[in-house]
A and B are shown apart, each in its own frame.
Chain A
Amino acid sequence: MNGKVGWSRDQMAARAASELGDGFYVNLGIGIPTLVANHVPPGVQVTLQSENGMLGIGPFPWAGEEDADLINAGKQTVSELPDTSYFSSSDSFAMIRGGHIDLAVLGALEVAENGDLANWTVPGKMVKGMGGAMDLVAGVKRIIVLMEHSSRDGSAKFVPHCTLPLTGLNVVDMIVTDLCVFSRPDRTSVFRLTELAPGVRFEDVAGRTTARFEAGELAVETL
């Protein structure tokens, strides 16, 4: 594999955004998942939720209109919409834990073939904490992971078993990487390779994935 093949970060976000349904309440994680908000399909209305206590997140404010009291879970300044509501952290996680959020898009360090997710710590290296990730995967109806297919050292991130501390057991429904999409209809099923990004061949994915997955009919995008 060489040259520019696969999806850019924005294209990955756009692919995840195509999973949004009209009327969905959605939580977007920090990093690439945040870009999903820029690619909501035409005719689809979604309401974005932020763990720190906001439904109806608007775009970044105009320069000069930033408000320190109005931030998202990534601590970025955001703006209000006509349907915005605010609430406490305990109310926020009641709606998350209680299954009222339709979809969450999160980043990952590793996903296992059984749907286990690791995305909060690298022992001895990264001391940050899990924030709201464990609550999101425990309560949100559907979880999409957006991640680079391989880690910086080239090792696979979709693996047989997670080696890093877990965020949740059997919680991932779909994985969108820069190379392809893996998905499964329910949490008792095996992941299936359902799409290849432009210029990516099946062997490229197979050679960079250690998890077991099914490869059925592929929707192969042409350049």
Chain B
Amino acid sequence: MRKLYPDAEEALSGLLVDGMVIASGGFGLCGIPERLLRAIEMSGVRDLTFVSNNAGIDNEGIGRLLRTRQVRRMISSYVGENKEFERQYLAGELEVEFCPQGTLAERLRAGGAGIPGFYTRTGVGTQVAEGKEVRSFDGEDYILERGIRADLSIVKAWKADQTGNLVFRKTARNFNPPAATAGRVCVAEVEEVVETGSLDPDGIHLPGIYVQRMIVGAPYDKKIEQRTTRARELQA
């Protein structure tokens, strides 16, 4: 079975439906599936629920889909860099479920691992716990959180082989592995597809079983949100 598609539009063909739930990898603008997000924007599909740690910035990532009003609901942990998000949310135009970052990662991991719910201490006694079952284990309270299954997962990796085994690069891994596993279908975009057999089997970060379709998205012009450096003259 051939997993490599010529472009993002073809890779998403037949997968996009109004009202669907999409899980996306990425942290800030680092490791976001930007080609696939762009193709989703161009498709015009709407009323989407996005499960994504962040919502991009005003004109990048999911932020673009907010501007085109294709997103109805977000499940995220942090959206601080997006003015349009804030405007739509305060105006009641966008539904938002704030979910603690670790709980969000675990909900995706659990969903992909066939675990419908789990107990966590995170959020006990806070707004996050409202309406959720509380159970005591060994004298400590925990709340029940649900695993997430998505209709579609979109992720970004560094390298893939022809079978969809993925390797991520540095902190661009972030939410991509748990997001990939949570989707009924996962489409990956990668910087490079290498010959099957040339990746070290011990160094595969996400086995190809989780990846149904992929594209090469290169060349990438990766965005930096906070460029922080040391000045060389300070070294001496």
Cα separation A62 to B128 with both chains bound (whole Å): 40
Interface residues of B in 118-153 (CB under 8 A from A): 120-128
Given contacts A53-B171, A61-B229, A88-B177, contact A93 B101 (CB under 8 A): yes
Q: Decide if B98 touches A129 in the complex (CB within 8 Å).
A: yes
Q: Is B213 an interface residue (CB 8 A)?
A: no
Q: Is B18 an interface residue (CB 8 A)?
A: no
Q: Which residue of B lies closest to A124 (CB)?
A: B90
Cα separation A133 to B98 with both chains bound (whole Å): 12
State the Cβ distance, B6 to closest chain A Cβ, in Å. Answer: 25
| Interface-facing stretch out of A11-19, A39-47, A68-76, A172-180 | A68-76
Residues of B within 8 A of A64 (CB): 229
State the Cβ distance, A47 to closest chain B Cβ, in Å. Answer: 15
Q: Is B86 an interface residue (CB 8 A)?
A: yes
Q: Which residue of B lies closest to A166 (CB)?
A: B126
Q: Decide if B124 touches A138 in the complex (CB within 8 Å).
A: yes
Q: Is B231 an interface residue (CB 8 A)?
A: yes
Given contacts A61-B229, A129-B80, contact A52 B102 (CB under 8 A): no
Cα separation A127 to B172 with both chains bound (whole Å): 25
Cβ proximity bits B71-111 to A, threshold 8 Å, 1 near / 0 not: 00000111111000110011000000010111111101100
Q: Decide if A130 touches B102 in the complex (CB within 8 Å).
A: no
Cβ proximity bits A64-93 to B, threshold 8 Å, 1 near / 0 not: 111111111011111010000011111011
Residues of B within 8 A of A169 (CB): 124-126
State the Cβ distance, A18 to closest chain B Cβ, in Å. Answer: 24
Q: Decide if A77 touches B122 in the complex (CB within 8 Å).
A: no
Q: Is B2 an interface residue (CB 8 A)?
A: no
Residues of B within 8 A of A59 (CB): 230
Q: Decide if B230 touches A77 in the complex (CB within 8 Å).
A: no
Q: Is B50 an interface residue (CB 8 A)?
A: no
Cβ proximity bits A4-41 to B, threshold 8 Å, 1 near / 0 not: 00000000000000000000000000000000000000
Q: Is A97 an interface residue (CB 8 A)?
A: yes
Q: Is B223 an interface residue (CB 8 A)?
A: yes
Given contacts A90-B105, A134-B100, A134-B126, contact A128 B78 (CB under 8 A): yes
Q: Decide if B224 touches A77 in the complex (CB within 8 Å).
A: yes
Number of interface residues of B (CB under 8 A): 59
Partner of A90, one of B106, B124, B222, B228: B106
Partner of A89, one of B86, B101, B158, B228: B101
Q: Is A183 an interface residue (CB 8 A)?
A: no
State the Cβ distance, A57 to closest chain B Cβ, in Å. Answer: 10
Q: Decide if B178 touches A89 in the complex (CB within 8 Å).
A: yes
Residues of A within 8 A of B29 (CB): 68, 75
Q: Decide if B122 touches A134 in the complex (CB within 8 Å).
A: yes
Cα separation A125 to B226 with both chains bound (whole Å): 24
State the Cβ distance, B101 to closest chain A Cβ, in Å. Answer: 4
Given contacts A62-B230, A69-B169, contact A135 B100 (CB under 8 A): yes
Cβ proximity bits A127-156 to B, threshold 8 Å, 1 near / 0 not: 111111111001100000000000000000
State the Cβ distance, A4 to closest chain B Cβ, in Å. Answer: 26
Given contacts A63-B229, A71-B171, contact A97 B122 (CB under 8 A): yes
Cα separation A128 to B14 with both chains bound (whole Å): 34
Q: Decide if B231 touches A90 in the complex (CB within 8 Å).
A: no
State the Cβ distance, B53 to closest chain A Cβ, in Å. Answer: 7
Interface residues of B in 147-174 (CB under 8 A from A): 158, 168-174
Q: Decide if B173 touches A86 in the complex (CB within 8 Å).
A: yes
Interface pairs (15), CB distance under 8 Å: A54-B171, A62-B230, A62-B232, A63-B232, A69-B31, A69-B170, A71-B224, A75-B225, A86-B168, A86-B171, A90-B105, A90-B177, A127-B90, A134-B128, A166-B126
User: What are the 6 A-B residue pairs with the smallest beta carbon separation, nearest first?
Assistant: A93-B102, A135-B102, A68-B222, A128-B80, A169-B125, A89-B105
